[in-house]
A and B are shown apart, each in its own frame.
Chain A
Amino acid sequence: MINKVVSGAAEAIRDIADGSTVMLGGFGLCGIPENCISALVSKGVKDLTCISNNAGVDDFGIGLMLHRHQVKKMIASYVGENAEFERQLLSGELEVELIPQGTLATRCLAAGYGMPAIFTPAGVGTEVAEGKEVRNFNGKDYLMEYAFDADFAIVKAWKGDTAGNLIYRSTSRNFNPVMAMAGRITIAEVEELVPAGALDPDQVHTPGVYVHRIFQGSGYEKRIEQRTVRPKN
């Protein structure tokens, strides 16, 4: 098996340069590549175009990069949890493209499936449709949306093996599998790295062919945005 293992986050992101387009997996703060985000902050790389469903919160996730003005353009579907983001957006410091969540996911999927574009009804008749080709199928209008072209995709998985196969845990799966398929170079950080052969092939979510670099992360904070509980009686 081809060995995809790198020493850690710093080596994994070594060639992410100013101006790169980077996809980051996760939904809210769930399933985000914490180690690689820290490494990007330490490296100080800037003018990034980031594609991610959300933009983190003020002091965690992509919010850490926004705070240091490392992001030139953000492509996301929902950014409501980040006041600094909203401030930079309304003041014009940050370029933002808001796109429907299903469109975001499916443009990743298209890239990973080798399809140049998709047709979706999401956004028809709204400002999302401006400048886009509309096609009518069976009496209903659809927008043509292009597959993403990202220099890098950074994803977080629960387990991975040295061949790059990935297994996600619970709803931290979210965007990670589709983004893993969509990067020209895909970097995976995992909570547990095992030798090839230790994962059941039937249980693999992302086949290793999509993953170029993998490492075992450390110190996961896994911050909870909305801690909702019911009392034990």
Chain B
Amino acid sequence: MLDKNGIAKRIAKEIRNGYYVNLGIGIPTLVANYIPDHIEVVLQSENGLLGMGPFPFEGEEDADLINAGKQTITTLPGSSIFDSAMSFGMIRSQKIDLTILGAMEVSENGDIANWKIPGKMVKGMGGAMDLVASAKNIIVAMQHVNKAGESKLLPACTLPLTGVRCIKKIVTEMAVLDVLPEGGFKLIERAPGVSVELIHQSTLGKLYADENVPEMQLD
């Protein structure tokens, strides 16, 4: 079973040289820590920055320079700054190669829910609806099951949707899965030590698995 950093590490392997990438809040943010040195990527922060750098050194924080998670950050050589409309303009026009974001639920036809629990939690969708509606490539980083042990990979989402038929790949603490164009989750890899049987038990949506499902290679 992977921890959050393990999920981030596995997702980092999906990033190709020259990608412009938008990382959501939570596990996706951790992905930046595992991008190998020989891969050059430009991280977009949708509050208006391309070329997001690491956290500033202690004492060098700049209140005017934050990422979409409101964390103090730095720029890098080649960074650029722009307004929110242009930021979503480049997202909508698919200039961003890859979006990585978290989810509360994903359905077997690629619907995603991650912004609201009616009557309990209302944080808002932020930029998630724009990102999932436009991105050409989206990877979801999420827990396979909730705290009660219930599957978050479902036949249909129960929570209000963020986007429809948009998710193609999911990485959880147990597995890497593709969402098939005709519907259903396809098990691609399993986390070290996790059995196909356990993944079946933890997936409420339709799950397809070949006879031999390879373990993830994390290093």
Contact = CB atoms under 8 A, between A and B. Distances in A.
Interface of A: 27-31, 53, 76-81, 86, 89-90, 96, 98-106, 108-109, 120-128, 158, 169-178, 205, 222-232
- Chain B contact patch, size range: 35 or more
Contacts of B65: 170-171
Given A121-B134, A124-B133, A125-B164, A228 B91 contact: no
Nearest to A31: B64
B183 to A, nearest CB: 15
Contacts of A158: 64
Interface in B51-72: 54-72
Contacts of B68: 27
Contacts of A98: 115-116, 122, 124-125
Contacts of B71: 226, 228
Given A79-B124, A230-B56, A126 B70 contact: no
5 contacts: A78-B126, A100-B126, A102-B129, A228-B55, A230-B54
Q: By DSSP majority rule, is chain B's interface helix, strand, loop, or mixed?
A: loop
Interface stretch (B42-50, B199-207, B209-217): B42-50
B130 interface: yes
Contacts of A227: 61, 72
Given A102-B88, A174-B47, A224-B61, 20 more contacts: A30-B64, A77-B125, A77-B126, A101-B88, A102-B46, A102-B91, A102-B92, A105-B85, A106-B88, A121-B92, A121-B134, A126-B129, A127-B161, A169-B64, A171-B64, A173-B81, A226-B71, A228-B73, A230-B54, A230-B56
Interface of B: 45-49, 54-73, 75, 81-85, 87-89, 91-92, 111, 115-116, 119, 121-130, 133-134, 160-165
A51 to B, nearest CB: 13
B57 A174 contact: no
A223 B63 contact: yes
B64 A86 contact: no
Given A86-B122, A226-B70, A228-B72, A178 B64 contact: no
A78 B116 CA distance: 11
Contacts of A80: 123-124
